[in-house]
Structure 1
Amino acid sequence: MTVTAVRDGSRGVRPNRYGRAMADPSTYRPAPGAIPTSPGVYKFRDAHGRVIYVGKAKSLRPRLSSYFQDIAGLHSRTATMVTTAASVEWTVVGTEVEALQLEYSWIKEFDPRFNVKYRDDKSYPELAVTLNEEFPRVQVMRGAHKKGVRYFGPYGHAWAIRETVDLMLRVFPVRTCSNGVFKRAKQVGRPCLLGYIGKCAAPCVGKISQAEHAELAEEFCDFMAGRTGGYLRRLEQQMKEAAAAMEYERAARLRDDMAALTRAMEKNAVVLGDGTDADLLAVAEDELEAAVQIFHVRGGRVRGQRGWVTDKVEDIDTPALVEHALQQLYGGGTESVPREVLVPALPEPAGPVQEWLTGLRGSQVDLRVPQRGDKKDLMITVQRNAQQGLALHKTKRASDLTTRSRALQEIAEALELDSVPLRIECFDISHLQGEDVVASMVVFEDGLARKSEYRRFQIKGFEGQDDVRSMHEVVGRRFRRYLREREQTGEWAVPEEEDGPQETTANGPVDPETGRPRRFAYPPQLLVVDGGQPQVAAAKRALDELGIDDIALCGLAKRLEEVWLPGQDDPVVLPRSSEGLYLLQRVRDEAHRFAITYQRAKRGKRFTAGELDSVPGLGETRRQALLKHFGSLKKLRAATVDQLCEVPGIGRRTAETVAAALASRPPAAPAVNTATGEIIDDSADTGTAGPVTSRPPDREAPTDHTTHLTETP
């Protein structure tokens, strides 16, 4: 292998527009002809010589050249990396497999800041049987595998192994003591407690020979490997023979042994009927983080589960995440490679990774994406666990007071605010091809969602795919209401549409009917809009028209997660690991979720009216009963007359009328939300008549307040 280093470019350091030092990539760009076209691994170093990024390439020349194009054309995270770096060097290897191995070694050695970082780097416990010892023992082991030791697992927790072993020792009383305890018992001629209670065959005192104990350990391994049917049948036959011979105590013990083994088997139910060994890996991700979940299946049974969470500090897609996860899982040599490795997306290219896994296993490894059957169903379960893992991680992160405080402080510093934004409001626009235009307003106080303050808006003054105009209208409407209710000349103003004295508090006017503060009485310290420069300019124009200049404003563009400020030509780019960026993203995503949920409900009502309202003899009550019973219009359209008759209040004649009416109308074509690019699908069973998007259903609907923007201010 040949190592080539490129000259140091630290002298070309210049400040960026935020005053931070930034290297000029042109100062350390290698000459195009100096970069080889062979496979290799490369390292970017900063001005202090620290490795900040490690990558591999099938051909080094085009890959490295791609980093030195115009910075404006690079992804924001890639641009940050190349401007932080001051030099680049590479190592030429013989094959792509060698590049994969070297890349993993360097990532583990240098821990580069711009590479994927897995937070969970611990070893997981496994059930081990030391067949290489004179008297094999069963124990919990971690770390690298040893020759002559039979492993089962890994398990998520050591206590899960001990529970299984405790059930198994009743039938297979294999030694579990340490070497010290074994030698001591052999010296004094007395077994330990397990030997007295029948959970150890006590080879230490000669109750069982070495050959008999070795055979017992082999039977234990066979049962753990999934060969259970024959052994249980033998036990059942022995139990019947003992009962026939009136050896009832022995028959009862065999019966209890069968029950114990059955309970142990229930802890590891069969999930793959072909009894295969496989690892299933799934990934759940957003723009900032990704959760990896792995199920270890041995002998068709789930033997263990593990998960990681990673910060996406580099521009990385799902295939690359899968490749990094496989490196993390098998690269350290502590995890055996099974016959099949099932993933949600194949690495690009998949050949070197599969060859690398085959080399680790010593025989062919099938790396693929499951398409059907039990393996596809199990992959869905693993994917669901990954999504729950990511959601749990976000929940823990959001609930930490220190983290929230740091996030608010980072936002204040990045946007140059006078104080931290304790109240943040975010607006989002949603529509379907210009129809059913709606907007949402979500509120976060002290970094936490305040769902009672959420508001949703109908925009009826115009239709069309004009998000900028809609944003201007919504922001203007919200703050007109605020101006009506804010303090004027030392007193709280009475809204124009109401007469008479109003009760007030120190925080603002109180609604005499509900006793609660009015809906728009509190201004935010920070107003966030979902979008880039055009949306920010529209919101700023709405505030200027109302004479409001004491509310900070920014926009969060989804594609590159850039923060846009009014009147700025360049965005503010927060670090990918920034808690402030994470909070802004969570606020923006919540506004989007709330808007799309409302838009979905409106579309569902409109679609239902077109499908069911014209059916003769079908009133509102029975329409709702049908939709509630079937959950979606697609399922209702596919129902038979007999199935329709099962709905309370629907007779056969009405059922036949409904079926005929739905059959005479072709299903509606799928619609696309042009604001988000999502395909709206009404085939999912959501429990309502409305369609759902690719986002998760709204499981915790906040208090909804609808404001029609057709009123006259």
Structure 2
Amino acid sequence: MDVKKQLKNLPTISGVYLFRDSKREILYIGKAVNLRSRVRSHFNNPKSWLSQVAKIETRPTNSEITALILESQLIKKHRPPYNVQWKDDKNYFYVAVTSETFPRIFITHQPPQATVYGLQSTERDTQDTDNAKQVIKEWGSNSRPLATNRRLSTVDRRPIAIGPFVDGNALKSTLRVLRKIFPFRSCKTMPRHPCLQYHLGRCLAPCLLQGKAQSVKRKATTQNLKLQKEHPRNTNVLSKILRGQKSATLSKLKKAMVQAGQKQNFEQAAKIRDQMTGLEKVLVNSQIIKPLLNKKVLKTKNYKSKMVSEVGPLKTSWYGRVEAYDISNISGESAVGSMIVFENGQPKKSNYRRFKIKTVRGANDIAMIKEVLQRRLRHHEWPFPDNILIDGGPAQLNAALEVMAQNSPTPALPLSTEGGELKTKNYKSKMMSEVGPIETHVFSLAKKQEKLYNTKNHSPIPLAKLKPEVGFLIQRVRNEAHRFALNYHHQLRKRQLL
């Protein structure tokens, strides 16, 4: 199939994409929050090697975390020639795990000589665990106090690494989230007193095991002893998650929870239960979606619908480009409109725009929304969004749909609801370019009701019925549009008072 035709059929969810040549050799591997937008961006500024691309293969996932891990695994396995960073390992990121009694976890550009995807069980590791148990035993024993200046033993070995990872920001964000669930040590040299990370619940403070004996005794509580036993387990769990072993990790945690309950250690069982719940929320829908069976996956007409049906109740990706609009005025005075942009779930403030209302007199939010959208749509040089969110109810939504139908380079996609789910209606339009039309979904969100409207003919969808991460993102986008409009409105009013 021609590459331009393949571009039209790409899904708009997160995943990994592979460029192959006519001999099916892999040329390049990348990840994307929105596969269609990311892959198309390569061809907007084509490079000479892109002429070799004969097939675009995608491996859709349901979360950016899984896409990050899958990209790492595929690059490590295939080493594509045009992933030029492989020529210099310093352009890649690795998660290093030291081989100390209480391992330190950190991100590095320089992988160890023996790079693996996770912790390996060796005799020396077993010895380290035994050493840790002995330290804890001595800590709680009155007959064998710790030596005055005894410090934790370390092993003079290179750390092992998990990787490589391409996106450093995504990797750091992932570790920040996981650290809240599975605290770990990151300090290069352990201090004599617990640091801020311990008080924030992000570290188990193995530094409590060192220092003067009397100081240790004062801190030697049953709770601290239990915390120290968790450190090796947390490190092992983190390494497995970064290797993509979600199911095995959850299964092991569940087994540990049951065992703790059988021993009537209900506090420990509850803690493991909370960790399982937190991990499931972080990795929600993070399994790798298996590619459809036949090799003609990009040729099937129903490919996109099949993939979209697996990503949850909201049948559009909110992790592409989202534009949100709001109006701010007092009885029509100092009326302004705002346009804010989110890409990949994060605000893109360089694309924010504000509009002073010029053609509307009096309090008429509907007419103001129309004016703002009409002025925005005149800027064909601005990237077109995947979703448009209007702050308001059905009236504001209908106004936006009317303007989009009259001025948009491609018609807006109204959505229908069946069985509590949003589904895209049949959509056909002339191609505005060789890579196909840009599909835009239009929504409005009522403030007090927190209900998402999509068309005038169907019931609104409460945000509470959507997946939490989607509902929170929609609220965040709406609130940011409101904040930006209100700030501009206040600026105009201050100028008028001067």
TM bracket (short chain): 0.3 to 0.5
Normalised TM-score (structure 2): 0.34
| Bigger radius of gyration | 1
Normalised TM-score (structure 1): 0.24
Bigger relative contact order (CA 8 A; separation at least 6): 2
